[in-house]
Structure formats: C-alpha cells, structure tokens
Amino acid sequence: MELVEESPFRFRIDRRDPMRVPGVVFASRALLPDVGSDRSLEQVANVATLPGIVGASYAMPDVHWGYGFPIGGVAATDVAAGGVVSPGGVGFDISCGVRLLATDLDRADLPRLRDALMDGLDAAVPRGMGRGAVWHLADPAELDAVLRGGSRYAVERGHGVPRDLDRCEDFGAVADADPAQVSERAVQRGQGQVGSLGSGNHFLEVQAVDAVHDEPVAAAFGLRAGQVVVMIHCGSRGLGHQICTDHVRAMEQTMPRHGIEVPDRQLACAPVDSAQGRAYLGAMAAAANYARANRQLLTSAARRVFRRVAGSGLDLVYDISHNLAKIETHGVDGVDRRLCVHRKGATRALPPGHPDLPADLRAAGQPVLIPGSMGTASYVLTGVAGAPAFASTCHGAGRVRSRSQAMKTVRGQELRRELEARGIAVRGASWRGLAEETPEAYKDVTAVVDVAEGAGLCRRVARLVPLGVVKG
DNA sequence: ATGTTC
C-alpha cells in the first residue's frame, strides 16, 4: 500500500483501478496503522471502489481494521448517481455513540460522594453480555414505538425531559425508521435490552473537566473546569447486530442483480435508491432510534442515582453517534449533492452556524464526544467550517491490539488495582472484559485528537479525565 | 460490537 504524504497530517492513496476515487488518511507517521498487523489501509482502498463514491475514501486518525470498511472510515456516495449504502460502512453496532451529561458538582465534592455514587451506579446500570435492562417493555408493540421514536418516545414515557431532545442528534429520533424491515429475530434480541450498556468498550464513566481549551464554546456546551460530568458510551445491542447480519446477507443476494461487484464480500451493498437499499436504511434508522432510547434510559437510571446520592441533576450536553449512514447535502465540486455519508467509527462534526444544530448551540458548533480508552482522558471537540471528509472526525482511541492479545498483557484484577491506585473507581462486569479493554490495547487518544485537530477536522474544547468507571 | 461460531 503506497502512501503519499500530502501534508503533516494527511496521506493519499492514489487512485488505481478499480478504485473510483483516491484514499485519504488523516494521520501522523506515528499513528499510521502497522501494515504488518492491520489491513485497514487496504480496506480504505477497497471502499474507494464502491459505486457512486465521491471525494475520497477517508480514514480518521484512529483507523483500524474492521468488517469490510475500516473502523474510523468515512465514505459518501451520490444518491442520484447510483450511490450505494453498505451495512459494513455503518458497522454491527448501529448508532453506537456517546452521550455527555453535566452535573452541578465539582471534582472537590467527589471524595466524599464517590463510593456511594459508584455503588449506586453499579446497581443501577445493567451491563455485560445478555442480561438485564432498565426498561421492561410491555409488549412487542412498545418496542415498535421505541424503533420509531427513539429518545423522543422514552421522554414521552417519562424517562427524561423535553430539553434532552434538543441536545440529541436528530432531536432524539431518526426519521424514516421502518420496523417492518427489522426481522423477528432482531426484535426478539432487542425486546429485553432497552437501557443496557452491553460489553466490550462500552462504559458509563464519572469524569471531571480537567482542562478547558476553548472557554466560550465550553460555556455554550454547559461545561466548566473542575466540573463533574457523566459519559455514556453504548449502542444498539443485539438488535443492531442482527439487523446488520440480516441485511448483509440480503445484499449479498441482490448485488448481482444491481450489477455491483466489490473486492470484498464484506462490502455488500445496494443502491440507496433501490428496494434493498431503502429496506436497510429503514432498519438502520430503527436501530439508531433503539440506540438513542437505550442511552436515554441509562441517563434516566444515572439521574436517579445522582439525585439520591448527591442531590445533583444531569443536564444533557449532547448525544452523538459514531456508527451511522445519513443522507446529507454537501457541496461536491461546487455543486450541492444528496449524499449517503457512511461514518463507521467516525463522528459527525457540524460546524458553527449549521441549520441542524439547536439554536443555543448554533454559534458554537456541534459537540463532538470522543471517549478515550479505560483510565485515560476523553475529549469534547467541535466542528469547524470548511473541514474535509463531509463534516466528520475521529471517534476514539482506536484499538491496536486484539482482545485476545490484550488479555495476554494484563489480568483484570491487576488492572483494577492499578486504576484504583490512580484514584479511578472501577465497577466491572467481568474480569475478562476489563482485561480486554486495557489501555495498552489502544492508541493514545490525545495523539488521535492532536492529529484530528491538526488535519483541520475539528477543534478541541475540553479534556475530561475519569474518576470512576462502570464497565460493560 | 455480538445469545463472544446459525
């Protein structure tokens, strides 16, 4: 894979057949994937072959190997030019994302509150493989309402306040969700998981605002130095996973009929403007709403704990996905086009003034929420005008070692002791899960954010550090 | 990520 260094934070993979556009990798030399162990740059080139792709196949600084598309990949296709949608460009955890909540507390309050808060959260946050959820749905019809209404439905049912919806991407629910495209098996898997963290890299953290890099923007987001905040990172659980599985399989069948050939079966896709493409987008939107309702329910659970233990509210700063495809309008060669923008392990980053932002965030830009690896910093960023890559940036630290490799480097008990010794309270679901998430298995999130900012993808607003982690 | 291999 030949990379041309265009600038300190931008590398190009030149177009060659059957690529339709070049690849562009936003990285430093140090952050470039290790070609010996990670084939994500080949995946960037593979994505560049997709019908209708415009601009380039982009990789964010946290790029790593994924299913078909790299994680940390952005690809936009032109709907009117036969552009495709691909489930692999969204990922198995549809609308996995992050929500940040601001407390009334200062980090100086935490020593006396921390144990009670963490024990309360430990008991209130269902997590781990399978088992448990905040919300026990009355019947399948109620799941249908979740799939259509997302956070909006959860708030209608008393799990939150109307202001929450102003601070959600899409104001709490993606339009055009089509529960009829969600299989019976996906429904079964989703029925009992609304309001659950899951496992892997998902977490609920109590954090402190450790540094403010842009005072006015942080203030517009409702953040100040020393403030205690809560970050929730989770997705659409078994429901999203099943939808991805179902629709990849269906598209493998329909691709020949659409005359589409791809260099990797995992790039299965269909034209956005086709029955199969619309079916996937309808099911994907349903899963996106499920993921947002999931984060809304976990918010509700965390609010009860913070109210009871600390007398504090939790104000939503923002809720944003990093695994989603969206139909958006962007200028391409000076002409506005309707594009299907795939962001997989990449975060939408709307610039100041964007009409999709709520009025009180319009001047500041969209809060971009970047979860770090366990025990390390997380970041709040914002979008910038004129950025490349269709208003997208990184999504996290980016894994560099597999789960099995991670488990060889450290034991869960040992990791917990190390974190506790550094003043970070740990409430895990399993020792194994903890070990798999050792920060040694990830890139340095600060280096990722440095490059994202240096490449002009976003701007830094605040740095957050963990005080306590409830781990899936 | 994931009823961690329908």
The answer to the question of residue A312 being in a domain is yes
Non-local CB neighbours of A40 within 8 Å, separated by 6+ positions: A33, A59, A63, A64, A65, A66, A70, A71, A72, A73
pLDDT at residue A54, rounded to an integer? 98
Nearest nucleotide (C1') to alpha carbon of A185? B3
DSSP A350: P
Residue range A455-465: average pLDDT? 98
DSSP A134: S
DSSP A361: G
A237 CB-to-strand B distance under 7 Å: yes
Does the pLDDT of residue A471 top 80, yes or no? Answer: yes
CA A375 → C1' B2, Å? 24
CA A356 → C1' B6, Å? 41
Q: Which residue is nearest to nucleotide B4 (CA to C1')?
A: A129
The proportion of chain A whose per-residue pLDDT surpasses 70, expressed as a percent, equals 100
Strands A84-85 and A71-78: what pairing?
A: unpaired
DSSP bridge pairs for A468: A206, A425
CA A198 → C1' B3, Å? 12
A191 CB-to-strand B distance under 7 Å: no
Nearest nucleotide (C1') to alpha carbon of A188? B3
| Strand B close residues, chain A 414-443, CB < 7 angstroms | 437
pLDDT category of residue A1 using cuts at 50, 70 and 90:
confident
Distance CA A376, CA A23 (A): 30
Residue range A261-286: average pLDDT? 98
Q: DSSP assignment of A389-406, as one string? A: TTTEE--SS-B-S-HHHH
Question: What's the Cα-to-Cα distance from A25 to each of A91, A233, A296, A411, rounded to whole Å?
Answer: 19, 25, 34, 34
Reply yes or no on whether A354 is catalytic: no
The answer to the question of residue A211 being in a domain is yes
The answer to the question of residue A420 being in a domain is no
Does the pLDDT of residue A293 top 90, yes or no? Answer: yes
pLDDT category of residue A264 using cuts at 50, 70 and 90:
very high
pLDDT category of residue A140 using cuts at 50, 70 and 90:
confident
Instruction: Quote the longest CA-to-CA distance of chain A.
Output: 64
Question: What's the Cα-to-Cα distance from A336 to each of A5, A194, A198, A331, rounded to whole Å?
Answer: 29, 38, 39, 4
Question: What's the Cα-to-Cα distance from A338 to each of A77, A247, A331, rounded to whole Å?
Answer: 8, 23, 9
Rounded to the nearest integer, the mean pLDDT of chain A is 97
Distance CA A324, CA A354 (A): 19
Does the pLDDT of residue A114 top 80, yes or no? Answer: yes
pLDDT at residue A139, rounded to an integer? 87
Place of tokens 């890099």: A213
User: What CATH number is attached to the domain comprising A66?
Assistant: 3.90.1860.10
Structural domain harbouring A224: 4-400+442-471
Distance CA A131, CA A454 (A): 42
DSSP bridge pairs for A234: A97
Rounded to the nearest angstrom, the gap between the alpha carbon of residue A367 and the centroid of all alpha carbons in its chain is 13
Nearest nucleotide (C1') to alpha carbon of A403? B4
Residue range A89-93: average pLDDT? 98
Residue range A22-28: average pLDDT? 98
The answer to the question of residue A415 being in a domain is no
- Number of Cα atoms under 13 Å in the Cβ half of residue A138: 6
From A314-318, A327-331, A381-385, A399-403, the region with the lowest mean pLDDT: A399-403
A201 CB-to-strand B distance under 7 Å: yes
Strand order in the sheet with A10-13: A4-7, A10-13, A23-26, A53-64, A71-78, A335-344, A323-332
Whether this prediction's pTM lies above 0.95 is answered by yes
The answer to the question of residue A335 being in a domain is yes
pLDDT at residue A6, rounded to an integer? 96
The answer to the question of residue A94 being in a domain is yes
The answer to the question of residue A73 being in a domain is yes
**What is the sign of the dihedral through the CA atoms of A442, A443, A445 and A446?**
positive
State the total domains in chain A: 1
The answer to the question of residue A406 being in a domain is no
pLDDT at residue A36, rounded to an integer? 87
Nucleotides of B under 7 A from a protein CB: 1-4
Question: Per residue in A37-86, pLDDT tens?
Answer: 899 999 999 999 999 999 999 999 999 999 999 999 999 999 999 999 99
**CB A389, CB A343: distance < 8 Å:** no
pLDDT category of residue A221 using cuts at 50, 70 and 90:
very high
- Nearest of A233, A283, A243 to residue A127 by alpha carbon: A233
pLDDT at residue A138, rounded to an integer? 85
CA A245 → C1' B5, Å? 14
- Nearest of A39, A93, A94 to residue A68 by alpha carbon: A39
| Tokens encoding A250 | 């269906």
Distance CA A400, CA A9 (A): 19
Nearest nucleotide (C1') to alpha carbon of A235? B1
pLDDT at residue A60, rounded to an integer? 98
**CB A440, CB A409: distance < 8 Å:** yes
A242 CB-to-strand B distance under 7 Å: yes
Question: What's the Cα-to-Cα distance from A429 to each of A130, A469, A471, rounded to whole Å?
Answer: 12, 11, 6
CA A92 → C1' B1, Å? 6
Rounded to the nearest angstrom, the gap between the alpha carbon of residue A29 and the centroid of all alpha carbons in its chain is 25
pLDDT category of residue A131 using cuts at 50, 70 and 90:
confident
Residue range A440-465: average pLDDT? 97
Does the pLDDT of residue A35 top 90, yes or no? Answer: no
| Tokens encoding A32 | 């470039």
